[in-house]
Chain A
């Protein structure tokens, strides 16, 4: 149905796609995997017409597509469902489905027809909702279904699903998979992009692995094992994903005493130098809220925070940084970087006062220090004057990390440090964390990834519904025990 023939795409400084050949068969779920920046999204953008390939041909239904654009590809039956949803929250389901495609009766919209049709599409997806419901009142999972309904309404023969499960709950994922099966039976071909390797076997037929803009190979999912796949994705054998050299911990760096604030209550915890303390729990357990309060972004109502025995004032990130606390935020693009500023300006923002004298910046010193970190972390950039907004995702992450490494912190708070990151970069970040604690820093790591928490932490704190429900040593902790604590209060799952 869709065939990529020798597709090559260059971006300034990067060869994004190098001679890619892939074919999608009718009724096939074709999985695309690879590290961030491997070229999966770029390839899909060539299909949707958002990008034009520099070389090669794109064939849809056996015909070469000479001129492509999002409108043309949509009319050729290509439906895109992105990670970030493209629905308009203030409009109803029906209006969203027919947006730009309204059925007219004279000069007016034929509401009756569109209502009927929407209802039909929704029931096809086992959704019993009134099409007049506003999209903003729907959960993320349901919104995704509406996206699919929208694609069906356009008679799409090919669907592209870009990380469709990343924000769905388990039951929603199940629902999605059954819909994918149904669409398959109708002969719809699908490209499926995901970082979650486990689910691929459940939903996919064939898999194409990509790395650095090249195709590693296409395999039948029945014939390739998971560890084989990981090896091919990373391009090397990952011996030990969690490289930990556990050492005896030192003094207490962070002490939180009976902290209560919005989203958490009566929390006490300690983090020692030389240790990684994991903070586990379900989504919504109050972990991020706690971290924000410790770092001074949000206020809290009662309790105290001590760093090396000295009490720090609440609600001041400036004070937290001075005390030696840094937070690597969950959302690096929004919370970590000023995209309009260059690498240097982004890196030194945390250490301005110590680099310069009397409030005046020292450009020469800045450049030296930045270059040092660019070399050390192997940050891929031709110059430190390059704007952060023009770096690739992985490089941006490294800049955020460099920014905090410079600050010479006593305590690093990592909030979901590896979410959305590929295997190779993950192990790099783990190694970095291990080095940090080996040098005497303390790390508090918030993570929803259980293997990661178990593999990296010396001690594991577990929160549930805003309360601290357990603290486990790494040798006594296992998956079940952590989950028991995480569900501690009531058995209501997410």
Chain B
């Protein structure tokens, strides 16, 4: 049996990450300081959550454009309970936020599987509906002044080692990623998710309840959007109907740079983590070099194209694993 050396190709995202880090440490000042790295990882933690929210749907071959809106709606609905003056136990708004997020995800899943609306259109509509609902509920203004016990999850610093601050988001996201990694790579559900995304027809012909799987993916995406909503609200200290109007795009960027493929069936949790780090590094590095944000956006676009190309190339290499056996022609064999 030959060695299965296809694994390294799953780490293409990290090669890109390393290349970018090297570039910025050459051109930028004090880029590799512990404090700066800590900031970058902290920032990436938030991106990783929405990236995973996007990934679970992309794996099925769909897309979720309503992530930002779900974040806004689910947190705004629970906003009053999260305020400092509220007497409701903290756990209630948190659970409710996740429930609301899941419900919107369920609505997306329902539209995709029962009404046969493509995920792009279904979640595109939800993006407006959920955002509109959040505006209707809150009217003008925001819920400002979030409970410290909630804020701690997004802003807390646990300890500091040589200028490197270990923050709560890092811990939260590490646990979150580990759980999601287990769900996606180690369970039957995850396996069916990938299979459905790779070839829905074949999945159906193999007895996989594809519709249920797609619904579960959307519910999961909504649930994770709820988690992301809480983290962002806790960070900015306010629940706001305008929260994250662009986050669905960020989520797509993270997932794509992380190696996910829009047609489904390809992508990984650690890829998303890498993708989130890449975006955070780019933002930090370019801020450091005082490059205007418009230019940063353009550069990000270039990185996406580059990453997709690079990931593709690696994926193809991976496909050829096991093809390295030497082949002889008959005449060569005789000789």
**Which residue numbers of A lie inside 8 Å of B, CB to CB?**
8, 10-15, 18-19, 214, 295, 297, 316-318, 320-322, 326-327, 329, 334-341, 345, 348-350, 352-353, 356, 359-361, 381-383, 385-387, 389-390, 403
Contacts and interface: CB of A to CB of B under 8 A. Distances in A.
A317 B209 contact: yes
A370 to B, nearest CB: 12
Interface string B1-33: 110101000000000000000000000000000
A334 B192 CA distance: 17
A462 B191 CA distance: 40
B181 to A, nearest CB: 13
Contacts of B325: 13, 382
Contact of A338 (B186, B195, B330): B195
8 contacts: A12-B324, A322-B207, A334-B202, A338-B198, A340-B266, A341-B265, A383-B322, A403-B206
B125 interface: no
Contacts of B87: none
A13 B327 contact: yes
Nearest to B323: A12
A154 B195 CA distance: 44
Listed residue (B208, B319, B322) with the most chain A CB atoms within 10 angstroms of its CB: B322
A317 B198 CA distance: 18
A390 B187 contact: no
A335 B4 contact: no
Contacts of A387: 318-319, 321
Contacts of A359: 187-189
Interface of B: 1-2, 4, 6, 186-192, 194-195, 198-199, 201-209, 265-266, 318-325, 327-331
Nearest to A15: B327
B206 A349 contact: yes
A341 B198 CA distance: 7
Contact of A19 (B194, B201, B331): B331
A338 B194 CA distance: 9
Given A321-B207, A335-B205, A385-B322, 13 more contacts: A317-B208, A329-B205, A334-B202, A335-B201, A338-B194, A340-B198, A340-B266, A345-B191, A348-B191, A360-B187, A382-B2, A387-B318, A389-B319
Nearest to B198: A338
A349 B203 contact: yes
A383 B199 contact: no
Contacts of B190: 361
Contacts of B4: 383, 385
9 A-B pairs with least C-beta separation: A321-B207, A12-B323, A338-B198, A382-B322, A338-B199, A352-B188, A386-B322, A383-B322, A340-B198
A81 to B, nearest CB: 28
B6 A385 contact: yes
B206 to A, nearest CB: 5
A333 to B, nearest CB: 9
B199 A8 contact: no
Nearest to B330: A18
B207 to A, nearest CB: 3
A335 B265 CA distance: 16
A102 B265 CA distance: 41
Listed residue (B2, B188, B208) with the most chain A CB atoms within 10 angstroms of its CB: B188
Given A316-B209, A317-B204, A352 B2 contact: no
A360 B188 contact: yes
Listed residue (B192, B327, B329) with the most chain A CB atoms within 10 angstroms of its CB: B329
Listed residue (B189, B192, B202, B318) with the most chain A CB atoms within 10 angstroms of its CB: B202
B327 A385 contact: no
Listed residue (A14, A349, A390) with the most chain B CB atoms within 10 angstroms of its CB: A349
A356 B188 contact: yes
Nearest to B318: A387
Contacts of B189: 359
A361 B195 contact: no
Contact of B320 (A12, A341, A349, A356): A12
B208 A318 contact: yes
B188 A361 contact: yes
A248 B291 CA distance: 82
Contacts of A386: 321-322
Contacts of B324: 12
B107 to A, nearest CB: 23
Given A10-B327, A361-B191, A318 B199 contact: no
A297 B322 contact: no
Given A360-B186, A385-B321, A349 B192 contact: yes
Given A340-B265, A387-B319, A15 B328 contact: yes
Contacts of A382: 2, 322-323, 325
Contacts of A350: 206-207
Listed residue (A327, A329, A352, A403) with the most chain B CB atoms within 10 angstroms of its CB: A352
Contacts of A297: 204-205
Contacts of B201: 334-335
Nearest to A320: B207
Contact of B329 (A19, A320, A348, A360): A19
Nearest to A212: B330
Nearest to A6: B331
Contact of A13 (B195, B322, B329, B331): B322
A353 B188 contact: yes
A360 B321 CA distance: 27
Contact of B330 (A214, A317, A383): A214
A338 B202 contact: yes
Nearest to B185: A361
A359 to B, nearest CB: 5
A58 B204 CA distance: 46
A381 B330 CA distance: 20
Contact of A349 (B186, B195, B319, B328): B195
Listed residue (B186, B198, B206, B265) with the most chain A CB atoms within 10 angstroms of its CB: B206
A458 B322 CA distance: 43
A360 B329 CA distance: 45
B59 to A, nearest CB: 11
Given A349-B195, A361-B191, A338 B329 contact: no
B217 to A, nearest CB: 16
A417 to B, nearest CB: 14
Contacts of A320: 207
B312 to A, nearest CB: 12
Contacts of A352: 188, 191-192
